[in-house]
């Protein structure tokens, strides 16, 4: 009797264990069926540089942020999972950045009275590390069914490398003019001041949150700051240049006007060699984007199925 009971228990247990192992194995590899994820987003961008900023002498990063200068940003990308916790995520991003000395009450910045705006076009590739791993959840959300919910929350940190293009413009008498061709700080006039490139490298770093509705649809909220290697996104970096030399070039009167927009109530303070910007700190900008995501199911060869 005991032998028969033992045999029955074995016959019941073995299939149960095999099914359980198969189910666990399936769960552990299920992420491979959704390695590709497309996203499109909209949000805001802001700028940290020489122009505008807080009501104090220029400080670094968030202490110098002027929220009223937040502008529109959009993005599109494709995430590819290398593992359940690591992904690579290339983006194409567009945003506007701006700065205006009129918005600060700090005396020297307000007296300088410069402003700018620029479009930012960026391509990047980030590596994401999930510190809260997302789960795919059930395919459908059914009431009264126990088990994993139909959505999960994930959190990740990211860092990468990118390239961006900018083109600063300054306002004069109600019109906006491209600043780089005007050489407002004497670029090309002296060997030590070469003209800057409008295409630069950047290093994006930041944090993101994911919220999945089901196995395919979800949303993310991502914030990232861009470290750059240029101080000329706002066309301001070093010192004022000799204005007579600026006048000698083509469009010299416009270059003269946009290089110094102070009211000259303190003569000499904006003369050649006087501080105009701070070359010790490079410019930075940031994106905060809300995105809708859609996972593409892959076949056995790991290519997406459309």
Residue 14's pLDDT is 42
Beta pairing partners, 227: 203, 284
Task: Kindly state whether residue 303 falls inside one of the protein's structural domains.
Answer: no
Asked if residue 186 and residue 291 are part of one domain, the reply reads: yes
Count how many domains the chain has: 2
124-136 pLDDT tens trace: 999 999 998 776 6
7 and 129 housed in the same domain = no
State which residues form the domain around 106.
35-296
Whether residue 305 is contained in a domain is answered as no
Distances (CA, A) of 7 to 15, 20, 21, 53: 13, 20, 21, 79
Is there a single domain that holds both residue 22 and residue 160?
no
Is the pLDDT reported for residue 204 higher than 90?
yes
Calpha distance 295→133 (Å, rounded):
16
Sign of the Cα torsion 174, 175, 176, 181 reads negative
Q: Is residue 154 part of a domain?
A: yes
Task: Please check whether residues 90 and 2 belong to one and the same domain.
Answer: no
- Residue 304 domain-assigned? no
The answer to whether residue 282 sits within a structural domain is: yes
In SS3 terms, 217-248 reads as EEEEEEEEEEEECCCCCCCCCCECCCHHHHHC
pTM: 0.81
pLDDT number for residue 266: 87
- State the Cα–Cα distance between residues 263 and 281, nearest whole angstrom: 27
Give pLDDT, residue 169: 97
At residue 37, does pLDDT exceed 90?
yes
Q: Are residues 74 and 221 in the same domain?
A: yes
Residue 281's pLDDT band (boundaries 50, 70, 90)? confident
Residue 173 and residue 270 share a domain: yes
What count of other Cβ atoms lies within 10 Å of the Cβ of residue 105?
Answer: 10
The DSSP line for 72-95 is EEEEEEEEEESSSSEEEEEEEEEE
Give yes or no for residue 30 having a pLDDT over 80: no
- Asked if 68 contacts 103 with a C-beta cutoff of 8 angstroms, the reply is yes
Which one-letter DSSP state was computed for residue 213?
A: S
Average model confidence (pLDDT) across the chain: 83
C-alpha dist (Å) from residue 210 to 93, 128, 290: 19, 12, 10
Burial class (CB in 10 A: 0-12, 13-18, 19+), 254: buried
4 and 110 share one domain? no
Residue that wins the pLDDT comparison between 58 and 68: 68
54 to 57, 71, 135, 169: CA distances (angstroms): 8, 17, 42, 21
Check residue 267 and give its pLDDT.
Answer: 80
Q: Say whether both 6 and 64 belong to one domain.
A: no
What CATH number should be reported for the domain holding residue 289?
A: 2.40.160.20
């Amino acid at each position: 009797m005991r032998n028969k009971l033992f045999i029955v228990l074995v016959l019941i247990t073995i299939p149960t264990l095999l099914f359980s192992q198969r189910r666990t194995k399936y769960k552990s590899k299920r992420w491979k069926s959704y390695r590709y994820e497309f996203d499109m987003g909209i949000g805001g961008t802001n700028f940290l540089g020489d122009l505008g900023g807080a009501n104090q002498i220029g400080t670094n990063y968030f202490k110098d942020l002027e929220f009223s200068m937040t502008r529109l940003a959009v993005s599109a990308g494709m995430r590819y999972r290398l593992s359940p916790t690591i992904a690579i995520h290339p983006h194409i991003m567009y945003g506007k950045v701006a700065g205006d000395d009129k918005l600060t009450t700090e005396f020297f910045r307000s007296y300088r009275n410069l402003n700018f705006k620029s479009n930012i076009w960026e391509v990047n590739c980030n590596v994401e590390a999930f510190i809260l791993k997302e789960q795919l959840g059930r395919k459908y959300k059914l009431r009264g069914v126990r088990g994993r919910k139909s959505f999960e929350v994930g959190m990740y940190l990211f860092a990468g490398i990118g390239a961006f293009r900018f083109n600063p413009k300054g306002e004069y008498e109600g019109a906006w003019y491209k600043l780089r061709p005007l050489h407002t700080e004497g670029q090309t006039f002296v060997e030590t001041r070469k003209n800057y490139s409008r295409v630069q490298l950047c290093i994006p770093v930041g944090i993101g949150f994911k919220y999945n509705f089901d196995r395919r649809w979800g949303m993310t909220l991502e914030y990232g700051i861009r470290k750059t290697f240029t101080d000329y996104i706002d066309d301001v970096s070093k010192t004022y240049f000799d204005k007579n030399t600026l006048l000698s070039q083509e469009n010299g009167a416009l270059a003269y006007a946009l290089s110094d927009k102070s009211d000259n109530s303190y003569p000499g303070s904006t003369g050649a060699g006087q501080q105009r910007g701070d070359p010790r700190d490079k410019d930075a900008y940031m994106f905060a984007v809300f995105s809708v995501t859609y996972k593409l199911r892959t076949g056995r060869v790991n290519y997406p199925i459309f």
